[in-house]
């Protein structure tokens, strides 16, 4: 099956397809002819500075907002023309949601189960499945208003999962969570992926997003700036400085015992003028290339320098993000 839209031909091999998506708020162009594609069973990390248009895109996918131009498709169904079919296949975890006074967690889940048309045993089974998955059994009678941030996020994820959707759209699910709750969230995302779900996940905690997602898309001012696997993005955009001869440099930290001055002098003559000694560690700008690193390490060891570690700075998604985006907050 294929769908033609705005003269763009798209296929349903994608679980999520965002095509020419455009949304204005007054004079603000929140989403600007955005194209995105998420394959079935994949988790796409959705990155961008504040005001980049992530939430707007996600809300359109969740059928609670409409584009001015273009469309978003979920398994080929249009969010604008076929929102009912989209809703059946998609669960949305918003970045904020209202807590209703005097409503307990179980009542909240039950309400959403009913609103998805689940009845009788089917509804009880759906609620039990969600409580098992999110490990929320102990808190079902708690009022929503008294929940910790971590518990709120669990409940909100549970609500998104209640109709067992194939596609999940999670808007900053890790925001405000303590380290343990973040680890637990990562585990839940991994389990959902293992279960074959497709996910679009936004976050500003890029190191964690890199752990949860297969690919990332970076947007700014509503436009796609870069997309690819984490390795592709790191390779292309997370680069160290360049020498005049075109050699890429990165920060390398060496742990040593004994005479740091002699080692620092050698590194200055051999690798770089930027050498800093800090206690029993030396930091310097050295080659990024793995072969050149190996050669330098080999030379240090064969010259008898008492080094016990040699660590080139790992490439980071943060660095790639800083290199790709301009950072104009809107």
SS3 164: coil
Q: Is 170 within 8 Å of 157 (Cβ atoms)? A: yes
Residues in region 271-330 near ligand ATP by CB under 6 A? 330
Residue 54 Cβ vs ligand ATP, minimum distance, rounded to whole Å = 3
**Stretch of 50-58, 205-213, 226-234, 304-312 lying at the interface with Mg ion (CB under 5 A):** 50-58
Which single residue brings its beta carbon nearest to Mg ion? 55
Q: Give whichever of 52 and 109 is closer to ligand ATP, judged by the CB atom.
A: 52
Rounded to an integer, what distance in angstroms lies between the CA atom of residue 83 and that of residue 61? 9
Does 55 contact Mg ion by CB under 5 A? yes
Rounded to an integer, what distance in angstroms lies between the CA atom of residue 214 and that of residue 211? 8
Q: Give whichever of 37 and 57 is closer to ligand ATP, judged by the CB atom.
A: 57
Residues in region 10-29 near ligand ATP by CB under 6 A? 25, 28
Instruction: Name the pairing type of β-strands 28-38 and 2-5.
Output: unpaired
**Stretch of 8-16, 46-54, 83-91, 265-273 lying at the interface with Mg ion (CB under 5 A):** 46-54
Number of residues that bind Mg ion (CB under 5 A): 2
Q: Give whichever of 51 and 228 is closer to ligand ATP, judged by the CB atom.
A: 51
Rounded to an integer, what distance in angstroms lies between the CA atom of residue 235 and that of residue 248? 12
Q: Which does 286 bind (CB under 5 to 8 A by kind): ligand ATP, Mg ion, none?
A: none
Residue 227 Cβ vs ligand ATP, minimum distance, rounded to whole Å = 16
Rounded to an integer, what distance in angstroms lies between the CA atom of residue 43 and that of residue 39? 8
As to burial, measured by CB atoms within 10 angstroms (0-12 exposed, 13-18 middle, 19+ buried), residue 18 is buried
Does 238 contact Mg ion by CB under 5 A? no
The DSSP call for residue 146 is G
Number of residues that bind ligand ATP (CB under 6 A): 12
Q: Give whichever of 92 and 305 is closer to ligand ATP, judged by the CB atom.
A: 92
Q: Which does 207 bind (CB under 5 to 8 A by kind): ligand ATP, Mg ion, none?
A: none
Interface mask toward ligand ATP for 28-67; x: CB under 6 A: x-x-----------------x-xxxxxxx-----------
**Residue 141 corresponds to which tokens in the numbers above?**
């009678």
Residue 263: which of 310, 206, 320, 218 has the closest Cα?
310
**Residue 83 corresponds to which tokens in the numbers above?**
């929102």
Residue 172: which of 201, 151, 198, 150 has the closest Cα?
201
Give bridge partners of residue 143 from the DSSP assignment: 104
Residue 190 Cβ vs ligand ATP, minimum distance, rounded to whole Å = 24
Contacts of 59 (CB under 8 A, 6+ apart): 65, 94
Interface mask toward ligand ATP for 193-232; x: CB under 6 A: ----------------------------------------
Rounded to an integer, what distance in angstroms lies between the CA atom of residue 125 and that of residue 104? 18
Residue 56 Cβ vs Mg ion, minimum distance, rounded to whole Å = 8
Which residues here bind Mg ion, judged by CB under 5 A? 54-55
Which residues here bind ligand ATP, judged by CB under 6 A? 25, 28, 30, 48, 50-56, 330
């Amino acid at each position: 099956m294929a769908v033609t839209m705005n003269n763009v031909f798209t296929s349903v091999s994608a679980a999520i397809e965002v095509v020419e998506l455009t949304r204005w708020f007054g004079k603000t162009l929140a989403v600007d002819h955005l194209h995105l594609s998420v394959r079935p069973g994949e988790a796409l990390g959705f990155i961008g500075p504040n005001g980049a248009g992530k939430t707007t895109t996600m809300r359109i996918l969740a059928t609670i907002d409409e584009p001015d131009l273009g469309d978003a498709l979920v398994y080929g169904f249009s969010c604008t023309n076929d929102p009912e079919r989209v809703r059946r296949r998609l669960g949305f975890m918003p970045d904020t949601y209202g807590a209703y006074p005097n409503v307990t967690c179980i009542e909240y889940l039950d309400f959403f189960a009913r609103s998805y048309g689940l009845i009788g045993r089917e509804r009880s089974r759906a609620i039990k499945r969600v409580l098992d998955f999110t490990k929320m059994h102990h808190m079902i009678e708690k009022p929503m208003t008294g929940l910790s941030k971590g518990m709120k996020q669990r409940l909100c994820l549970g609500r998104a999962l209640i109709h067992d959707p194939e596609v999940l759209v999670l808007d900053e699910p890790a925001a405000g969570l303590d380290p343990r709750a973040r680890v637990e969230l990562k585990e839940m995302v991994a389990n959902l992926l293992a279960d074959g779900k497709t996910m679009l996940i936004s976050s500003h905690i890029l190191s964690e997003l890199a752990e949860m997602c297969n690919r990332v898309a970076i947007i700014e001012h509503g436009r796609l700036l870069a997309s690819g696997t984490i390795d592709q993005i790191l390779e292309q955009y997370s680069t160290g400085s360049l020498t005049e001869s075109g050699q890429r440099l990165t920060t390398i930290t060496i742990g040593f015992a004994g005479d740091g001055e002699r080692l620092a002098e050698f590194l200055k003559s051999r690798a770089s003028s930027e050498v800093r000694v800090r206690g029993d560690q030396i930091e310097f700008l050295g080659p990024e290339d793995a072969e050149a690193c190996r050669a330098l390490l080999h030379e240090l060891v064969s010259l008898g320098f008492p080094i016990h570690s040699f660590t080139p700075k790992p490439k980071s998604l943060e660095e790639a993000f800083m290199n790709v985006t301009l950072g104009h907050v809107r």
